[in-house]
Structure 1
Amino acid sequence: MFEYHGWITLRSTAEAVDDDPPLRFEEIQDLVNDLAGHGLTDLRPINGEYYVHLGGFPNHRGTRGSEVIDLFTKVGQLAPGSYGLLYIHDDEDPEHELNFRVFRLVRGTVTEHPDHLLSPVIPTLKDEYIG
């Protein structure tokens, strides 16, 4: 299984005040639309600010994993003041099968970090399967 959950607060620049300079909304909406149909993908304004929310749980990583991370990278390029977190768990990844990974978007840059809150999945979240 490939599980992902994330959010991004959209800001055109780190200094932006009241969307000055303007946010590249249509290009970001296109990125969100490209990911739609395979879980939760949402771009909406809340209290005058725009946010992206996404989550999913497909059977296999397939291309979905790189597309989700690419969304964070591309938003960072289009709106370098944006920030957010993406949690990923891929039980078919031999290096990370028991751990979540956290991708952090800050000032246009996406970095990967180990998770210490939900990992290791066994025994933190689930009991070991004995079958």
Structure 2
Amino acid sequence: MFEYHGWITVRESAGEEDDDSRLRQIVDELRERIAAMDSPYLLDLRWMNGEPFIHLGGHSNHRSAPDVFELFAHVATIAPGSYGLLHVRDDEDPRHENETRVLRLVRGTLSEHTEQLLSPCVPTLEDPFTG
């Protein structure tokens, strides 16, 4: 099972003001990339209160397309002022099968962490299998 929920605030830089025309170019590029991902799950880019945001979520039997990790890495590269979180539960990852992981995007850098509030998955989220 592969479950993910995340968001990104898209910013060209971490400065006070983004170059509006450059930010619009970035958003146009991201919109094309998102459309090409052709996800059956939640994958949305929209402007709210003058700022672009990406929201994503999904739940499938196995890790498969869309590659949400690649999307976060791409945003980190083209819009290094962006920030966001991606929560992932992947019971097929042998290193983290009983953890919810968090991918953190800050200032063009990605880092991965254990989500302490949702881990360990058993018994925090689910009862142990007894059967």
Q: TM-score, normalised by structure 2?
A: 0.91
Further displaced range: 32-41 or 110-119: 32-41
Q: Which runs of 4+ in 1 moved over 2 A?
A: 18-22, 34-38
State the distance in 1 between where 2:50 and 2:73 align: 23
1:43 to 18, 40, 45: 45
Deviation at 1:15, TM superposition (A): 0.9
Say if 2:12 and 2:18, in contact at 8 Å, map to a contact too: no
Question: Which residue in the other structure is 1:34 paired with?
Answer: 36
Write out per-residue CA displacement over residues 36-81 of structure 1, whole angstroms, 9 at most, x where no aligned residue: 32310000011111100000001101354xx111100101111110
1:97 partner letter: E
Question: Which residue in the other structure is 2:112 paired with?
Answer: 112
SS in 1 for 2:34: helix
SS in 2 for 1:76: helix
1:61 to 63, 66, 72: 63
Task: Give the unaligned 5+ runs of structure 2.
Answer: none
Aligned length: 129
Say if 1:6 and 1:84, in contact at 8 Å, map to a contact too: yes
Q: TM-score, normalised by structure 1?
A: 0.91
Deviation at 1:18, TM superposition (A): 5.2
Question: Which residue in the other structure is 1:3 paired with?
Answer: 3
State the distance in 2 between where 1:62 and 1:10 align: 24
Task: Give the unaligned 5+ runs of structure 1.
Answer: none
2:60 partner letter: P
Say if 1:98 and 1:120, in contact at 8 Å, map to a contact too: yes
